Amino acid sequence: MNICLNEFFLMILYLAKTALNILRFAIPVILIIKIGIDAYKKMINPDSGDIKNIKNRLIAAFIVFLVPTVIPLLMDVLGGITKDDYNVFATCYEFADLEHINVIREDRKQEELEAYLSEQEKNLSEGKKLIAAYRKIIESNHVIAGIGPYANNKNAIKCGTGRQYDTGLFNAVRSAGPKTREGVVAAALYVSSHIDVHIPYFWSGGHFHNYDGYLDTGNNFIGISDKWGCSVKMIPEGTDKQKPNQKYPFGMDCSGFVAWSIFNGGYYTGDTKQEIIIGTDSNSKLIMGAGDDCQPQTISFSKSKGKLKPGDLLTTPGHVVMVVEVTDKKVKVAEEKGYDYGLVISEVSYGERFSTALLMDNFYKNYKKGSPIYSKFN
């Protein structure tokens, strides 16, 4: 099994795969050109050549083109026959790419690799643990690299299933860097676009309240809550679409989601309650509990081009979102958009929908007191 983690061997196999992919296109092109020449000769001189040659070259071109596709399928079949998810043939073929080779080359310590594993995976043999850890690192790097295909609100998270997603969340934050701007964005992206379920909007979710005996603070606010998706009674204030004291699928509201992203990005101080409140009222301090030196710089969203970065916030009275991607023309945000939408990724032009941009450099650089309560972030 360790041969699949040998950098030199994987590089040789990677070069062989690359050459095979080049030949996959080059040989069929050559054969098709030859077929065209033979067909032309046959047209102008019916007695020249053999029609079987054309047919044979077509079959050969098709077979050569399919070879790189068939090999991984054969590897999977071998793994199924041996009933081993870590089949050596399939694993070596999978790991023979630059992404895996570069991860292996980093030569992480054993305890760092094991931090990526679930409790069940930690009971695997040493070789299988390494394979699983490197796979988790690759998955985590994909999460922090960009926006995935987020689930729609028809595939809502089911009550009691949230904790199964925790390991993936912690790994994404760990790869990005806990207590960093990047770690916060990784948390926001993970829950909004990299899990296969949708997190519903629940007005007041993530704001100190006690919902049917569930206190939405402290440790309950770290990770993917098992309470999300459960039928929970709305607090007495309620909204037009979520009536007081009636039950709805539990989740977060807009500022609750932003606070959740910041906490799960590593900025959690270990208190028994939330310490950061994201304000949407322009008359209140924007980040309460964070201290004056941690307050964001506020500028007009329409004038924020060139200054805005992932991890900054956008607000309009009554609403706040997390910026996750910035281009010259558009900004993508993760937001709990409301009862009809839930947690989604939205794209807006500069100045559209939101009035104010909160540049969060002061917060991410200065909000360092305490340490994350969750040991998985340490």
d(CA 240, CA 220): 27
pLDDT, residue 183, reads: 94
Residue 290: burial class (beta carbons within 10 Å; 0-12, 13-18, 19+): buried
> What is the per-residue pLDDT across 77-122, written as a single tens digit (0 to 9) for each?
655 554 455 567 778 888 888 989 988 888 788 888 888 888 888 8
d(CA 53, CA 34): 10
For the ranges 34-43, 47-56, 354-363, the maximum mean pLDDT occurs at 354-363
CA distance from start to end of the chain: 31
CATH topology of domain 146-377: endopeptidase fold (from Nostoc punctiforme) (3.90.1720)
Residue 316 corresponds to which tokens in the numbers above? 């309009």
pLDDT, residue 142, reads: 83
For 221-286, the DSSP string reads: GSSS-TTTTSEEEPPSS--SSS-TT-EEE--B-HHHHHHHHHHHTT-----SS---EE---TTS-S
For the ranges 211-215, 283-287, 370-374, the maximum mean pLDDT occurs at 211-215
pLDDT, residue 83, reads: 47
> What is the per-residue pLDDT across 161-185, written as a single tens digit (0 to 9) for each?
999 999 899 999 999 988 899 999 9
pLDDT, residue 42, reads: 67
Q: What phi and psi, each to the nearest 5 degrees, are found at residue 299?
A: -140, 165
Whether pLDDT at 344 is above 90: yes
> What is the per-residue pLDDT across 274-303, written as a single tens digit (0 to 9) for each?
556 676 665 556 676 677 788 889 999 999
Whether pLDDT at 199 is above 50: yes
pLDDT, residue 215, reads: 84
Task: List the chain domain ranges.
Answer: 2-107, 146-377
d(CA 160, CA 166): 13
Residue 251 corresponds to which tokens in the numbers above? 């989740």
pLDDT, averaged across the chain: 82
d(CA 165, CA 105): 28
d(CA 134, CA 140): 10
Contacting residues for 180 by C-beta, under 8 A, at least 6 apart: 265, 266, 364
pLDDT, residue 157, reads: 95
